[in-house]
Structure 1
Amino acid sequence: MRIIGGQRRGLKLADVGTGDAAAHLRPTSDRVREAIFNLLMNGPYGNPVQDARVLDLFAGTGALGLEALSRGAARVAFVDDGTTARALLRQNIEKMQAMGATDVWRRDATRMGPNRGPNYNLVFLDPPYGKGLGERALTSLAEGGWLAPGALIVWEENTSPVPPEGFIQRDQRRYGETLITILEAAA
């Protein structure tokens, strides 16, 4: 795994091999990450990454959020309740030298609670596949006031997810077994 573009392009991230099934680590491949960022930055969304406040849920190694930082995001909050994932995430933040622009929260992404800070305008959502956790996480974000009006959500699953009320599907693309859905939070 490496950073695909931006200021830290080519930086090698901590190696997790094929992932850690017990910890539900399934890193987004370089190819899929590149496709996601090409779609975000060259699609009909303007450049939602530049100066964005990013929330990376089920962060795992943090590759999606760190890629956003490399491409100009202002700040990234990583959320994962797994010990293995947070250890890898901290290693990757150090490799990126991004300690001042990141937060790492040990929290269940499906129970975020109320937001006590500024809203987020870009969310990466990469839950363990097929468990309905993405839907629950989005509901939690909406109820807790985490999202700015018009926030974009990039949701990675293996089947077509059903977004909860208050989210509009903007795009959907398949890359092998991975299905990327882009949603927009209703204003």
Structure 2
Amino acid sequence: MRVIAGEWRGRKLVAPPGELTRPTADRTRETLFSMLASRLGSFEDLGVLDLFAGSGALGLEALSRGAATCTFIEQEASAVKAIRANIDALGARNRTVVQQSSVMTLGPAKKAHDLILLDPPYATGAGQVALDRMIRLGWIDAATWIALETGAKEDVEVKLLRVDADRKVGKAKLTLLRLDA
């Protein structure tokens, strides 16, 4: 696993040991960030939230491309250790917050984020449940872009969100969502 583009292009990332996490493949990450770049134009100065963060590869990719900050939320201790190791290896501690907790325990947001990246376990519906909760708690507003990775055969439907785009990449499906106007 490596950073695809930006300031840290080509730098290797560590993944948590064991089978508790499923890191997003480089090809899938490359497709996702291409989809986002065509809509956002730039990642400069974005506030990013990486949920079900695993190794932190998605949030670190956004930081490498110019995002101002990233908050990583992950409940597994071995994954949190990998995220912190990756942050330290890239010298990104001053632009990151790592929180070891379940996405389902998030409280009300201080402000909405610009970009939310979710890579929950496949076939659990956890991403959709988390998004529903985050809408109610103010983590998402009209300017927020949401990227959800699911299994290729999963349908994504969240009240108040519309699908902007989706694309299958191998066993994964990438879905970009926005608040319904």
TM range (shorter): over 0.9
CA displacement at 1:102 relative to structure 2 = 0.4
2:24 to 10, 25, 28: 28
Residues of 2 paired with 1:56 and 1:141: CA distance?
13
CA displacement at 1:184 relative to structure 2 = 0.8
Residues of 2 paired with 1:10 and 1:48: CA distance?
20
CA deviations 1:63-86 (Å, max 9, x no partner) are: 000000000001000001110110
The structure-2 alpha-carbon separation of the partners of 1:153 and 1:48, relative to structure 1 and needing over 3 Å to count, comes to farther
Within 5 Å, give how 1:93-112 maps onto structure 2.
93-112=87-106
- Please give the TM-score of this superposition, normalised by the length of structure 1: 0.91
The structure-2 alpha-carbon separation of the partners of 1:118 and 1:48, relative to structure 1 and needing over 3 Å to count, comes to farther
Q: Within the alignment, does 1:143 sit opposite 2:136 as a pair?
A: yes
CA deviations 1:161-181 (Å, max 9, x no partner) are: 332211110001001101101
CA displacement at 1:87 relative to structure 2 = 0.5
CA deviations 1:11-67 (Å, max 9, x no partner) are: 111145xx632x2x10001111111111111x2x13252211100000000000000
Gaps of 5+ in 1: none
Query: Sequence identity of aligned pairs in percent?
Result: 38
CA deviations 1:106-144 (Å, max 9, x no partner) are: 1211231211x2320101110001111011110111111
| Backbone CA RMSD of aligned residues | 1.4
Q: Secondary structure at the match of 2:117?
A: strand
1:150–1:186 Cα contact (<8 Å) kept: no
1:111–1:137 Cα contact (<8 Å) kept: no
The structure-2 alpha-carbon separation of the partners of 1:51 and 1:86, relative to structure 1 and needing over 3 Å to count, comes to same
Q: Give 2:72's aligned residue.
A: 78
Give the number of aligned pairs.
180
Runs (4+) of structure 1 exceeding 3 A deviation are none
Q: Secondary structure at the match of 1:110?
A: helix
Residues of 2 paired with 1:135 and 1:46: CA distance?
23
Q: Give 2:13's aligned residue.
A: 13
1:111–1:140 Cα contact (<8 Å) kept: no
Q: Secondary structure at the match of 1:182?
A: strand
1:163 to 148, 157, 166: 157
Residues of 2 paired with 1:184 and 1:156: CA distance?
15
Q: Secondary structure at the match of 1:11?
A: coil
